[in-house]
Structure 1
């Protein structure tokens, strides 16, 4: 059976499962593989002729010659494997050829706000938000708490003196307790908020007897971010806090403890340079 006929039967089956656009993408991927196979091996593609060497070579060709991104390379090889698995089910081939490992893409550093963006956001929170909003944003940005940890704080979890302060996160990720120190500006805003606090056990009370929900906090931040002309989420503020700490010279172990990370590898993501930073470096290094 020719590859064209096998493609047709395989793709007809996919039409019953997938959207038209997905089936068309599958077809393009398989046709491209057939063209590469014929040009490389000097023979028409047939499922019986595909070997593990072909799959490794095609993966390499997609990366180095065609310049495809890892996500695209992995998708194309997955489609080919699906086609070959279907051929095996139909009795056309006896066994599947070995497939290479998926291409891994280096993860970029989590998106953190630049200093000017942080200032714009804080300015708009001061102008348009409530004291509660400013206290919450400062807490996320200054101490790097998760949004669920921040909104779940009780008044008794906050301890502040003249020159220091901290919050106790009783149920962090993994149900672990930790004490997180508070920087000066965060302490200052929290003191103001506590003076205005309407009462009740929660540091950030919501509309009911419960605390502010994570969803309500996300909505508040999104509305203020529009005025500040920045794109940020509560988790983005946590990323920014971690980046600020590491940029100031803090060590990974200390920052990991503050953030409540179990693995240093998680914290180390924040040390990776941004695309903008890398571009600046190569520009300065060019002869």
Structure 2
């Protein structure tokens, strides 16, 4: 049933969704087996008890909701709609009311220094591109050399793999241009189309970039959050930020203006100090 769901029920879905839902239903199937049933014969009480079990294991609300969405999709596909009626699920905090975690100036500068000191020009070019353009990691790894136009006074980058397959052209400041140019100087002898290559001279993977960030104490989303937060705090027009970030919704931009927990702590620390 699981294999059929992946091949039939998720037809046309993204690779990420297929992987996430497939793993979620595999975990649900294992739990059902321990409860004495399977993906064909489970009932509504099984679904509710599984959701309650996840909550008892201190799974986050967002994790539980991802698994719940997969179970809903599977149940609808397999004709078991009754099994998902009136299920009580932990509510997720509205993402639009949360300020994404961004790096502060000290964290950004330390990250830049630490990677620069390694002498690895590729890694430095990657981090500067992420920080100064705010592109997604998936967009970064899809970049080709032909997508970058560099000159002494200006530069631009064509992002072809944005969400919804929307293209956008981003300006590159002098720091990014220099980092990419220095990296490409090392690659004069190769003709690979990909802009960023792995140590095996293949297009770099998303996981490799994530590992680079994790090695320096950050996650790959923080560079994008930092870029957009910087634009918001600088008072840039929302339409400009949308164009640069590739966000289709102004609501997604507005959440970057929400105060973070650190902003609130700093405000309380500063009270009556002036």
For Structure 1 versus Structure 2, the TM-score category normalised by the shorter chain is: 0.5 to 0.7
Q: Secondary structure at the match of 2:226?
A: helix
User: Which of 201, 209, 224 is the matching residue for 1:217?
Assistant: 209
User: Which of 253, 268, 271 is the matching residue for 2:257?
Assistant: 271
Q: Deviations over 1:84-116 (max 9, x none)?
A: xxxxxxxxxxxxxxx9xx696573211001110
**TM-score, L = length of structure 1:** 0.60
Q: Which residue of 2 aligns with 1:176?
A: 166
User: Which of 110, 123, 137 is the matching residue for 2:100?
Assistant: 110
Q: Which residue of 2 aligns with 1:33?
A: none
| Rounded Cα–Cα distance in structure 1 between residues aligned with 2:110 and 2:248 | 32
Deviation at 1:130, TM superposition (A): 1.0
Deviation at 1:221, TM superposition (A): 2.1
Q: Does 1:152 align with 2:142?
A: yes
Q: Which runs of 5+ in 2 are unaligned?
A: 1-43, 62-87
Deviation at 1:206, TM superposition (A): 2.5
**TM-score, L = length of structure 2:** 0.63
| Rounded Cα–Cα distance in structure 2 between residues aligned with 1:138 and 1:171 | 19
Q: Which residue of 2 aligns with 1:242?
A: 228
| Rounded Cα–Cα distance in structure 1 between residues aligned with 2:93 and 2:106 | 33
Structure 1 residues 209 and 129 mapped into 2: Cα distance closer, same or farther (>3 Å)?
closer
Q: Secondary structure at the match of 2:229?
A: helix
Q: Secondary structure at the match of 2:131?
A: helix
Q: Deviations over 1:45-95 (max 9, x none)?
A: xxxxxxxxxxxxxxxxxxxxxxxxxx7xxxxxxxxxxxxxxxxxxxxxxxx
| Rounded Cα–Cα distance in structure 1 between residues aligned with 2:143 and 2:47 | 51
Structure 1 residues 133 and 24 mapped into 2: Cα distance closer, same or farther (>3 Å)?
closer
Structure 1 residues 248 and 163 mapped into 2: Cα distance closer, same or farther (>3 Å)?
farther
Q: Deviations over 1:147-187 (max 9, x none)?
A: 01111111110012222111001121101111011122111
Q: Which residue of 1 aligns with 2:111?
A: 121
Deviation at 1:279, TM superposition (A): 2.6
1:221–1:234 contact (8 Å) kept in structure 2: yes
1:245–1:255 contact (8 Å) kept in structure 2: yes
Q: Secondary structure at the match of 2:97?
A: coil
Deviation at 1:18, TM superposition (A): 4.9
Aligned pairs for 1:86-105 (under 5 A) are none
Q: Deviations over 1:121-164 (max 9, x none)?
A: 11110112510000000000000010011111111100122221
| Rounded Cα–Cα distance in structure 1 between residues aligned with 2:119 and 2:229 | 25
| Rounded Cα–Cα distance in structure 2 between residues aligned with 1:183 and 1:108 | 29
